[in-house]
Amino acid sequence: MSIAEHFAGQRPLFSAIGKAGACSVLALALLLPGFPGPQAKVEVPDEYQPVSPTIDQARANILIARQLQFTHFRDLGISDDLSDDVFHSYLDYLDGQRIYLTQEDIDAMADIRDMLGPALRTGQLQPGFYVYNLVQQRIIDRLEFALGLLDQGIDNLDFSTDEEILLDRTDASWEADQAALDTLWRKRIKNAVLSQRLNGTEDSSIEENLRRRYEGQLKRAYQARSEDAFQAYMNAFTSMWDPHTSYFSPRTSENFNINMSLSLEGIGAVLQSDNEYTKVVRLVPGGPASKQGQLQPADRIVSVAQDDEKPVNVIGWRLDEVVDLIRGPQDSVVTLEVIPANATDETVTRTIAIQRDEVKLEEQSASKSVIELERGGEPRQIGVITIPTFYADFQAMQAGDPNYKSTTRDVRKLIEELESDGIEGIVIDLRNNGGGALHEANDLVGLFIDQGPTVQIRNAKNEVQVLEDEDPTVAYDGPLVVLVNRMSASASEIFAGAIQDYGRGLVVGSQTFGKGTVQAVRPLNHGQLKITQSKFYRVSGGSTQHKGVIPDIEIPSRIDKTRIGEDALDHALPWDQIESVPHTRYFDFSAVIPELRERHSERFDTNPEFKLLQKEIEFLKKQRQMDYVSLNPEKRREHYDQIENTRLAITNARRELRGDEPFESLDELEDWQEQEAANPDSTDAESDFVIREGGQIMADLVELDRHMASIEQSSRLAAQAGPQ
**What CA–CA distance (Å, rounded) separates 49 from 57?**
19
Q: In angstroms, how far is CA 598 from the centroid of its own chain?
A: 33
Whether 461 is catalytic is no
Provide the angle, in degrees to the nearest 10, between the axes of the packed helices 82-95 and 126-151: 30
**What CA–CA distance (Å, rounded) separates 577 from 724?**
53
Q: In angstroms, how far is CA 110 from the centroid of its own chain?
A: 33
- C-alpha angle 19-23-28 in degrees, rounded to nearest 5: 110
CB 561 within 8 A of CB 513: no
**What CA–CA distance (Å, rounded) separates 548 from 553?**
15
- Counted residue by residue, the chain has a size of 724
**What CA–CA distance (Å, rounded) separates 66 from 54?**
19
**What CA–CA distance (Å, rounded) separates 253 from 527?**
6
CB 526 within 8 A of CB 60: yes
Tell how strand 426-429 and strand 480-484 pair up. Answer: parallel
**What CA–CA distance (Å, rounded) separates 263 from 391?**
14
Identify the burial level of 675 via C-beta atoms within 10 angstroms of its C-beta, where 0-12 means exposed, 13-18 middle and 19 or more buried: exposed
CB 513 within 8 A of CB 489: yes
Q: Indicate the SS3 state at residue 576.
A: coil
**What CA–CA distance (Å, rounded) separates 201 from 150?**
16
**What CA–CA distance (Å, rounded) separates 686 from 341?**
17
Residue of 515, 534, 535, 700 marked active site: 515
- Letter string b/e over residues 495-530, b meaning 16 or more CB atoms within 10 A of that residue's CB: bbbbbbbbebbbbbbbbbbbbbbbbeeeebebbbbb
Residue of 105, 299, 429, 501 marked active site: 501
Residue of 249, 261, 488, 490 marked active site: 490
Whether 501 is catalytic is yes
**What CA–CA distance (Å, rounded) separates 301 from 279?**
6
Torsion of CA 430, 434, 437, 440, to 10 degrees: 10
Nearest to 548 by CA among 509, 490, 467: 490
**What CA–CA distance (Å, rounded) separates 563 from 54?**
37
**What CA–CA distance (Å, rounded) separates 249 from 227?**
7
Which amino acid is present at 117? G
Question: For the chain, what percentages of helix, strand and coil (3-state, to nearest 5) are there?
Answer: 45, 15, 40
**What CA–CA distance (Å, rounded) separates 83 from 81?**
5
Identify the burial level of 711 via C-beta atoms within 10 angstroms of its C-beta, where 0-12 means exposed, 13-18 middle and 19 or more buried: exposed
Q: Is the dihedral of CA 236, 237, 241, 245 positive or negative?
A: negative
- Cα of first residue to Cα of last residue in the chain, in angstroms, is 103
Whether 490 is catalytic is yes
Torsion of CA 677, 681, 686, 691, to 10 degrees: 160
- H-helix segments, 315-427: 319-326, 394-398, 407-420
Q: Name the DSSP class of 154.
A: G
Please give the positions annotated as active site.
490, 501, 515
